[in-house]
Chain A
Amino acid sequence: MRIGVITFPGSLDDRDAARAVRLAGAEPVPLWHADRDLRGVAAVILPGGFSYGDYLRCGAIARFAPVMGELVPAARAGLPVLGICNGFQILCEAHLLPGALTRNAGLRFVTRGLRLRVENTRTAWTGAYRGGEEIVVPLKSGEGAYAADPGTLAELEACGRVVMRYADPNPNGSADGIAGVCNAEGNVVGLMPHPEHAVDPLTGPSADGLRFFTSVVAGVLA
């Protein structure tokens, strides 16, 4: 199975996302921001980083990259898409996910291994988790506070579209402790913490993040 990882100018965790894909038993396929081509992949990851330096607004420039012209209709047609950190910000800017990521409540960048509670296991990327399970995954962001209008937040809660929630004290002021959300169909997931940095206990706080990637492999093959 081939899973694409997009590199935008300023993407940083593309290498880590590719490693996680490999550890999950799939083949990582590099996708370039300037190419209107998804190279026939079965799923796509938008990795963390500072696309375009986060200048203007996080994700606001990357959203207009040529590759997004292919990705947005494919995602609307059901292609599994995972946006991690900056990738989540890009998915919000591209209106594939509701809401926005804003400056941390403490105004500082926060790097920490955190406990997350799995709220939704029916997405393309979380099927390998158990509902209510707590996992440990690093958060590392300066603009990770999830915000949306009250109507949207109520809808996300009512429809079970909150995918992960911070189980530790809220690290960044996210609304309702939201760490990740999905679209109505569950194929597009955005997450502020970094599951690709929790795939090997040697280099991460746990290996709990690996199941994001095994989930999509199992789902697509099923």
Chain B
Amino acid sequence: MTADMVLPQPYAELGLTGDEYDRISQTLGRRPTSAELALYSVMWSEHCSYKSSKVHLRQFADKAPASAALLAGIGHNAGVVDIGQGYAVTFKIESHNHPSYVEPHQGAATGVGGIVRDILAMGARPVAVMDALRFGPASAPDTGRVLPGVVSGISFYGNCLGLPNIGGELDFDACYAGNPLVNALCVGVMRHDDLQVAAASGPGNQVILFGSATGPDGVGGASVLASAAFGGAAGEAVKRPSVQVGDPFLEKLLVECCLEQFARGLVLGIQDLGAAGVACATTELAAAGAGGMRIQLDAVLLRDPSLGPPEILMSESQERMMAVVEPGRVDEFLAVCARWDVPAAVIGEVTDTGRLVMTWHGETVVDIPPGSAADGPVYHRPLARPAAQDTLAAGHPAALPRPADGAGLRADLLALIGSPGLADKSWVTDQYDRYVRGDTVLAMPEDGGLVRVDEATGLGIALATDGNGRYCRLDPYLGTQLVLSEAYRNVAATGARPLAVTNCLNFGSPEDPAVMWRRHPSHPGHRGPRRPR
């Protein structure tokens, strides 16, 4: 027995439970390598696997009314709906709350970058962004740190990328102090035939990683792994940024590069790299396709040559995409990348072995069934109505103080319209470019944004984002219905007909039964306003 065999593995530090660690060992029939442990830890994180919410989120697919307009629904990178005349739109909204609190500028910037790549991966040209923001009280000192950084991050990334910002929300409440909400939406336009799939099919086809070189950013747990493997003290581990750093210029090149690859028919399958980076892209592409893939991790272009397999797998470096390309068309693919100055490297090929195998300078460091990482565990978390809910529900508006006379009413009105959540927000929205692309018909301060899709036909689309934390706190089910109807009205008020909804549910820890209670009853509310054309 070697010392290595008894050395405990740092699964807990990587966020895995003992049961999950045992399940990995059982799946593999052996002790996982450090690279495999890194891969499973990020793939089975709540963020990537939705392991606590999956059982509830299924309702969206199960209960939504059938619609002929839906071309791609739940399970894809983003939903796609038909808007007629051969055009389709895809849109998605995602939160980037914790990174934006830790490092507001880069956290918000990379939130925009990530959602744009999701839209791009569907085969669409991204055409507009929106953002829904919540901060603590405007007068709180920490809001003075977080808000300017978030706004400058959105402005920096979205403006440099050339996407008009056509609206969103900005509100303030004490409950967001220390936990701001930064939600970014992107919408893209495509022809029906442009739809791309996130699957690696056809054994022998080549796997290409392109975009930014891979660096150590976003590698949260790798220092833990490294120190455990080499026996170093945790305090000696190299401090690495946990928030990714965005490069909107490269993202602009990546967008144009991908659209040219799509137009030339060079892409068989494509996946954006977001959370869990190479680990996520390889397992999901393989699991959704022919089932196997062989990857040479040493072929990944690095911006830090000291990175090893676990760090490369976990890195969340931005502005990267992974494509599957026929061997005979690899040269043409690489030539298009070169034309756009986008770095690219062939890192592996599709196989039909049913195994995702990764090597590092000839040594096998990962050998797993990809579905075991891509699907992950499913939990039914306990939920419990929080005790304070009864107190909240017992309160009645009639008990609130009311102004006794005209002067009191005037003071209340002035306080309301002067409050940061209701007052003019051009001090924020003037920092966003709403004119770029020349198709913006409505933007801030309108309630909904409206962009032209096609100059010849005048076809256009309207979008609105809405949220109401207070309504949903008082009554998660009814509150969510009211929020949906508000968004529906905001879209209808532009003159457009509401066609599809998506959501971005910002909840606390799923291991808190009160949080799970709020999330559970709020979901059925989505049955209402979703309506096919």
Q: Give A contacts to B, CB under 8 Å.
A: 9-10, 12-13, 15-16, 19, 48-50, 52-55, 108-112, 138, 140, 142, 194, 196-197, 199-200, 202-204
Contact = CB atoms under 8 A, between A and B. Distances in A.
A171 B294 CA distance: 56
A86 to B, nearest CB: 11
Given A12-B162, A109-B159, A52 B249 contact: yes
A138 B253 CA distance: 25
B117 interface: no
Nearest to A13: B436
B160 A15 contact: no
B253 to A, nearest CB: 6
Contacts of B249: 9-10, 50, 52-55
Interface stretch (B216-224, B364-372, B426-434): B426-434
Interface in B429-481: 429-441, 452, 455
Given A55-B249, A112-B430, A16 B160 contact: no
Contacts of B455: 19
A15 B431 contact: no
A192 to B, nearest CB: 13
Nearest to B249: A53
B426 to A, nearest CB: 8
B258 to A, nearest CB: 15
B341 interface: yes
Interface in B72-131: none
A112 B250 CA distance: 27
Contacts of B252: 9-10, 12, 50
B431 A110 contact: yes
Interface string B235-258: 000000000000111101100000
Contacts of A196: 438
Contacts of A194: 435
B434 A15 contact: no
Contacts of B437: 15-16
Of B160, B433, B441, most buried by chain A (CB within 10 Å of CB) is B433
24 contacts: A9-B253, A10-B160, A10-B252, A12-B252, A12-B436, A16-B436, A50-B159, A53-B247, A53-B249, A108-B152, A110-B430, A111-B429, A111-B430, A112-B430, A138-B435, A140-B159, A142-B159, A194-B435, A196-B438, A197-B436, A197-B438, A200-B438, A202-B452, A203-B440
Given A109-B155, A111-B430, A112-B430, A140 B435 contact: yes
B441 A49 contact: no
Contacts of B159: 50, 109, 140, 142
A202 B443 CA distance: 12
A202 B441 contact: yes
Nearest to A32: B339
Given A13-B436, A16-B438, A19-B438, A49 B162 contact: yes
B340 interface: yes
Contacts of A15: 437-438
Contacts of A197: 435-436, 438
Given A109-B431, A110-B431, A203 B436 contact: no
B302 to A, nearest CB: 21
A-B pairs with the 10 shortest C-beta distances? A53-B249, A12-B162, A16-B438, A197-B435, A50-B160, A109-B431, A140-B433, A109-B155, A138-B435, A111-B430
B160 A111 contact: no
Interface in B124-162: 152, 155, 159-162
B438 A111 contact: no
Nearest to A7: B256
Nearest to A200: B438
A199 B435 CA distance: 12
Nearest to A113: B435
Contact of A53 (B160, B432, B438): B160
B458 to A, nearest CB: 9
Of B155, B248, B249, B439, most buried by chain A (CB within 10 Å of CB) is B249
Given A13-B436, A53-B250, A204-B435, 8 more contacts: A15-B437, A19-B455, A49-B162, A54-B160, A111-B429, A194-B435, A202-B452, A203-B441
Nearest to B163: A12
A201 to B, nearest CB: 10
B459 to A, nearest CB: 13
A15 B435 CA distance: 12
A130 B433 CA distance: 29
Contacts of B340: 9
Contacts of B248: 50, 53
Nearest to B161: A12
A117 B438 CA distance: 23
A142 B157 CA distance: 13
Contacts of A112: 430
B188 to A, nearest CB: 16
Contacts of B438: 13, 15-16, 19, 196-197, 199-200, 203-204
A112 B432 CA distance: 10
B130 to A, nearest CB: 15
Nearest to B251: A53
A15 B164 CA distance: 14
A196 B435 CA distance: 10
A13 B160 CA distance: 11
Contacts of A50: 159-160, 162, 248-249, 252
Contacts of A9: 249, 252-253, 340-341
A53 B253 CA distance: 10
Nearest to B339: A34
A199 B441 CA distance: 13
Contacts of B435: 111, 138, 140, 194, 197, 203-204
A109 B437 CA distance: 18
B437 to A, nearest CB: 7
A60 to B, nearest CB: 14
A18 to B, nearest CB: 10
Contacts of A53: 160, 247-250
B118 to A, nearest CB: 21
B440 A111 contact: no
B247 to A, nearest CB: 7
Contacts of A203: 435, 438-441, 452
A63 to B, nearest CB: 16
A37 B82 CA distance: 41
Contacts of A204: 435, 438
